[in-house]
Amino acid sequence: MKASAKANANIALIKYWGKKDKTLNIPFNSSLSVTLDKLFTITSVEFNKDLSNDIFVINDSIQSDSEHSKLSLFLDLVRNRAGINFKAKVISENNFPTASGLASSSSGFAALALAATKAAGLNLSPKELSILARKGSGSASRSVYGGFVMWEKGEAGVDESSFATQLFDENYWPEFKVVVVILQNEKKDTSSRDGMNNTVATSPFYNVWLATIDEDLKNLRNALKNKRFSALGETAELNCLKMHATMLTAKPSLVYWNSQTVELMKLISKWRAENLEVYFTIDAGPQVKILCLDKDLIRLQKKLSELKFIQNIIVCSAGSGAKLI
Ligand code: DP6
């Protein structure tokens, strides 16, 4: 009753921000992401009748009580489905900083969903796995697949209605790159979950955000279909800024950026004016993900190498979906 899986993190180009069903983790809006080839989680799960408690070791450290209970509840979903009651030992490693706005929960829960179901003797379809991973973390529903992925919002109260599907696989657009710029490695103060719940409850801009999503999704899907990079970049950057506008106007205001995030955002606009075709997207943390094509990568890397405040740069292409290893 043991299995291991690897899942890549994904970055949303059209963001998920807000839950209309907190129990089933069903979002207010559909979202669209790209799975990345260089940021991943490897997780092994062993169900064992001799264990009296679940044990979680993530990046070599035993988990806190709150993290532990969230993960145990997720394993309960798998245990109930498989009709077993054994506790599990879970060992998980990310190859990048955890909980700092680098989508560790997307790869984390996708890898856990796959390893745990396999270890419990279940063989879920990708769609079933996406539905299950969603209940661990919304963005994890997308990491089940490689390439460009759409997560359909579905209906509140209807578990099977909300899942991800692949739009284009990881080989579709080899020139497309996401340059992940790490500005800070510390864990963030406010989780995405708390941040989005508070935004939904208090931001006067939340409904405006929701009203613009369908158009953003349409534009982004068209841009992808025709490989029109400028349209993709413009739509993704604006969507990111709109999401952050809802956070900035929440009560209390939620600012995931630091001063270097803002400096880099301004530089990216400036570089674009100088004909370097780059766009940014930012999630619930200070890190900046720069979208570009191969033709501009060397010039971009040179510019970034001159910025002393950058801690690390990871150049990613579209990566594959979750797999057993
Ligand atoms: C800003 O998937 O981490 O990265 O469902 O509560 O676990 P939970 O939230 P999570 O939120 C991700 C938010 C985001 C945007 C996105 O990935 O779409």
Average pLDDT across each block of 10 residues of the chain; the chain has 325 residues. List them in order: 97 98 98 97 97 93 83 97 97 80 85 98 98 98 98 98 98 98 83 96 98 98 98 98 98 96 98 98 96 98 97 96 98
Cβ-proximal residues to 188 (8 Å cutoff; 6+ apart), any chain: 99, 100, 101, 256, 284, 285
Could you report how far apart the first and last alpha carbons of the chain are, in Å? 15
pLDDT at 101: 62
**Which residue from 13, 14, 16, 24 has its CB within 8 A of the most atoms of ligand 1, so it is best to mutate?**
16
For residue 73, with 0-12 CB atoms within 10 Å meaning exposed, 13-18 middle and 19 or more buried, which class applies?
exposed
pLDDT at 118: 98
Q: Is 282 in the pocket of ligand 1 (CB under 6 A)?
A: no
Ligand 1 atom 4: the closest Cα is on which residue?
283
Ligand 1 atom 12: the closest Cα is on which residue?
139
Q: Is 107 in the pocket of ligand 1 (CB under 6 A)?
A: no
Distance 138 CA to ligand 1 centre (A): 6
Rounded CA separation 224/169 (Å) = 12
The CA–CA distances, whole Å, from 77 to 49, 154, 193 equal 18, 20, 20
Atom in ligand 1 nearest the alpha carbon of residue 103: 4
pLDDT at 81: 97
Contact yes or no for 37/180 (Cβ under 8 A): no
CA-closest candidate to residue 43, choices 84, 128, 131, 104: 104
pLDDT at 189: 83
Beta strand 176-182 pairing with 31-48: unpaired
Q: Is 284 in the pocket of ligand 1 (CB under 6 A)?
A: yes
pLDDT at 67: 79
Q: Is 134 in the pocket of ligand 1 (CB under 6 A)?
A: no
Q: Is 138 in the pocket of ligand 1 (CB under 6 A)?
A: yes
Distance 139 CA to ligand 1 centre (A): 5
DSSP bridge partners of 323? 6
Q: Is 244 in the pocket of ligand 1 (CB under 6 A)?
A: no
7-21: string of b/e by CB count within 10 Å (b at 16+)? Answer: bbbbbbbbbbbbbbb
Distance 16 CA to ligand 1 centre (A): 6
Ligand 1 atom 8: the closest Cα is on which residue?
137
pLDDT at 112: 98
